[in-house]
Amino acid sequence: MIFSSLTFLLYFLPIVLLLYYIVPKKMRNLVLFVASMAFYFFGEPKYIILMLLSIFFAYINAIFIEKSKKHKKLFLIISIVISLGLLVVFKYTDFIIENINMIFASNINLLRLALPIGISFYTFQVISYVIDVYNEKAKAQKNFLKFATYVSLFPQLIAGPIVRYTDIDKELENREYKVENFSQGVRRFVIGLAKKILIANVLGELITAFSNASEPSVLFYWLNGIAVTLQIYFDFSGYSDMAIGIGKMLGFSFPENFNYPYISKSITEFWRRWHITLSSWFRDYVYIPLGGNRVSKLKWLRNILIVWMLTGLWHGASWNFVIWGLLYGILLVIEKLGGLKILEKIPTFFSRIYVVLVVMLGFIIFNSTDLASIAQNLGGLIGIGNIPFANAESIFYLKDYISIILIGGIFSTPIIKNIITKIKEKNSKLVNILEPITLSVLLVLCISYLVDGSFNPFLYFRF
């Protein structure tokens, strides 16, 4: 089940919210846990046991870590090995086998295990929890229901943001329920839904048209690159918005995950604005424990490359993800060794163009299926392969999708938000009247789009 489905919008979410608010407060964690299990069971029934095992082992080991001063490190290692072991088996085994077969010319059979939905997200949550307990930044949760509710919370279960236990530990015990927070949650959810359905899904249609194109051209390769760049942003940030919105409806404050990354003036800034909870997780639980930048230059370089190779692999078990991650690692090293000073001296317009171009090239790599398609999709941007600059097919799609590309470009910046803020400062009553009307129209458009049975994938299901 995904948030942008009629089943979720018309049945699951209303029923859960109704039950959640009619039961006594002390039973609301139970309602959330049961709802989260049902949500996961709907999409991945056979792997619900896997998630429960991950929850159970983290719960037990955290208690042992807190109680045992002598063997706390052993229990930490056991917990991390179990969590990462499950992730490696189900996500990376076939990738490892494929590479062994390629290197040694062997013929080991692939396991072809289905990837459990959300395993990358909930694995990182339980690992951060046991590490925080080990470092005494958090107390072990003795109530299994509360801990299981934290890990399995359906708003952030399959696509984040990556919520650390310390982010919501107090809210698991006692949450504030305000009409203002609920209304903010509804607003945030509808905006995220519109980003996903009205922008990302439409751009996805263009990407599909490109993959089925009979006559490639330079123009079509660029249209595809731009569409991929915007689609991934609106798909993922839209889902994060919906998760944060549902969290507010339920009384939780989830961390922000995106902050207009496409206005960044450097790749360093981009990763402070893009998938914030993931980059901060790798910083706190991998980069800093490796020594961060408080080591020799050689080890510092090693630390950065390790982090970004793992960042790439976290997104998927394929070499295109590794290349994508290492690309950013190399660029970040270059910026830290002097590139940032150069970017600060040039006009902001050019530094932002640099970031957008790098991000687009990165997402072309990210979205490719293999090394050959990476070469083809990047080469097509500069006409390698004797392809024409434009043809009738690419011009047709340019005319058909230019409006949604422009809309996507505008809404990927804070321009509209800043305009609304200025209007609100001068005439708040006008905004207060128009906002619910606008949100209602967006919701109706989204539901109409879904009823029509239009293109509605979710990219991050594969992570």
Angle at CA of residue 358, ends 355 and 361, nearest 5°: 150
Work out the end-to-end distance of the chain between its first and last CA atoms, rounded to an integer number of angstroms: 15
Token readout for 433 is 């009247």
Residue type, 219: L
Instruction: Give CA 397 to chain center in angstroms.
Output: 28
Q: Which tokens belong to 83? A: 């969590």
Q: How many CB atoms lie within 10 A of CB 91?
A: 21
Q: Is 71 a catalytic residue?
A: no
The CA distance from 220 to 215, in Å, is: 9
Q: Return the structure tokens found at 79.
A: 């917990």
Hey, what amino acid is at 31?
V
From 315, 318, 351, 364, active-site residue: 315
Backbone angles phi, psi at 347, to 5 degrees: -55, 145
Omega prior to 161 cis, within 30 of 0: yes
Specify whether the backbone of 385 is left (phi greater than 0), alpha (psi in -120 to 50) or beta: left
Distances (CA, A) of 63 to 67, 79, 139, 356, 459: 6, 11, 9, 46, 36
Neighbour tally for 255: CB within 10 Å: 18
Can you spell out the DSSP letters for 288-330? Answer: TTTTTTSS-HHHHHHHHHHHHHHHHHHH-SSHHHHHHHHHHHH
Task: Please tell me what DSSP assigns to residue 11.
Answer: I
Residue 390 per-residue DSSP state: -
Give Cα 308 to chain centroid, integer Å. Answer: 16
Please name the amino acid found at residue 312.
G
Integer CA distances (angstroms), 417 to 38, 381, 420, 439, 461, in order: 36, 33, 5, 14, 29
d(CA 439, CA 444): 9
Residues annotated as catalytic are 315
